[in-house]
Structure 1
């Protein structure tokens, strides 16, 4: 009876652990970590096969509409297959704008509320 009780306690304690096993790329052995393994580190928008990271800059002058978010996902397990016109922060239908005196390869604007825009700057090219 004691052995059964000890066995169940061990199972319960290991199942309730908040440690996550990950693979150490140098040794391919599991390592324990408390970090979250999903979720982008910051808000992103993908437009024209380019990733843009959001800034806090809001006082920007927009030029013309260039598109809208057609895909929302915060699943970052395969960033390379993220479809165009996507965001991990803004919902489907959010409008994207060019910014006056900026090339769209450098920065774009995201309309987060009617007539309110936030600047998104080049993050990386999706290859």
Structure 2
């Protein structure tokens, strides 16, 4: 997969919806998919998975996993949970960078924010 498509695929803004034909998928894009990446998708939006020369001994991607990925993309995008999770990971990254993996000896650490972000036991949308 082209690297320009790998990132949106891994962030669930691009998914492949199965068709009635084995190894043929409809490209589905969701909010957050950069329109500049559309140039890497087929014009008709249909992708056909086939073996590359010299890789005949390697299996094609699992249809079950691709279907699972597509369904997760639909749920995450329709519910807005994808944005909630992205925001959580962004906050966690910022927090780790600011506390540098330690608590301040003088007690200045925002322990409440650290625990809220780190434990994230409930999601409110």
Which TM-score tier does this pair reach, normalised by the shorter chain?
under 0.3
TM-score, normalised via structure 1 length: 0.23
Select the structure that is richer in strand. 1
Select the structure that is richer in helix. 2
TM-score, normalised via structure 2 length: 0.23
Higher Cα Rg, which structure = 1
